[in-house]
Amino acid sequence: MVKKRGINGDYMKERLHPLPLSILIYMIQNGLVLYSLPRLVAEYFGTNGWLSIIFIFVLVNINITMIAVIYKLGKGRSIFEIIEATVPKWVMVPFYLFIIGVWIGMASMNMKAYIFIYKMMFFPTLPASLFIIFFIFLSFQLLRGGIYKMAKAIVVLCAILQPMIFLLFYLIPEFEFARYTTFFFKGETDFFKGTLHVYTAFLGFEVSILFFPMVEKKWTKALFIGNFLSTVVYFLVTFICFGFFSFDQILKDIFPVMTLFEYTEVAFLTRAENLCFSVLAFKILSIIAIYYWGAQQIFENMFKSIKPNFWIFIILASGFILALIPDSLVSVEEWLKWLSYCGIGIAWALPIFVLCILFIQILKNHKETDNAK
């Protein structure tokens, strides 16, 4: 009999190991933005905008550090235990519902955006609802297995996705440093809006704040490693785009990365851009599943007497209906923009709120200890 991995002598519950966890974090960070990322950094950060990826990476690491500090100060307690030890659950219900709504919305809009682009490229006449049903079915299979099986499945999906990165090296003969300029961040720039847009490419890690009861000790390094892997890919792709296209070409192209792959000439592969975009479906599926899983965890905490599987059906049904609403890619992008802003707000506000509660609890414990002396 194989014993499941555990900590503190608890072998009944399997714990997430840091290695698959770092791959999980990498896979759930927003993948679809990658295709327009070079244009976004050029549009909002100007010439040599690829350098902005480093600044956003630092910001995200600060955000992740807050989650790591919460885990350490909270001594492994779930955020629900930390919050509800000080704030009554009924007070938190509207905030919980808001987070659930945003996460389900982000999952559904990411799915719909991918479906619209995929339909345009391959199956323009097929109804989008068929693709939505397909993604919902796969999400159900992942959610039904729980976070441990989901993490293992996502590691496998990552192994299928990663070889696509090596196609970038076939573009090196066309790459020229002469296309770079000595001017940095010049042009019609808007750093604040640019930071918001580029930050959406890193979203997904915020769901890790729910992992506390399910991870091994010293797991927080996995958050930083996962984020570092995403940053390397974003940095590499944007850097090559700036050396492959002129600055004006990047500004005029909606999806520069797709155009970049169109120029990939590989002897054993034709239309590399189609293959790359098809394989990206695995990353989109990972993002959808983890946001739905996060919503499920909050529902379970709110209504502990109801069976967990019940919430899977509610969430998937809500996700399906939401995904049917937008009727064009422009409409989906508008939804995604506002949901992403809310997502960034949650990514920062929730850890700050939990940290404040933890400091109140620590101060209270110190006072009680001093009074007892």
Report the C-alpha gap between 287 and 134 in whole angstroms. 15
Which residues have CB under 8 Å from 70's CB, separation 6+? 79, 82, 209, 212, 351, 354, 355, 358
Lowest mean pLDDT among 146-150, 155-159, 164-168: 164-168
Q: Which two tokens stand for residue 24?
A: 């999980």
Residues paired with residue 266 on neighbouring β-strands, in sequence order: 269
Q: Are 36 and 117 in contact (CB under 8 A)?
A: no
Query: What does the chain come to in residues?
Result: 373
Model confidence at 13, in pLDDT bands (50, 70, 90)?
Answer: low
pLDDT in tens, 218-256: 889 999 999 999 999 999 999 999 999 999 999 999 999
Is the pTM of the predicted complex or chain greater than 0.85? yes
Strand partners, 21: none
Backbone dihedral angles phi then psi of residue 215, each to the nearest 5 degrees: -120, 160
pLDDT tens digit sequence for 267-283 = 666 677 788 888 899 99
Q: What is the DSSP string of 47-99?
A: TTGGGHHHHHHHHHHHHHHHHHHHHHHTTT--HHHHHHTTS-HHHHHHHHHHH
Sign of the alpha-carbon dihedral angle for 86, 296, 224, 219: positive
Q: Which residue has the tokens 């006449």?
A: 125
CA distance 335 to 112: 10
With a cut of 80, say whether residue 371 has pLDDT above it.
no
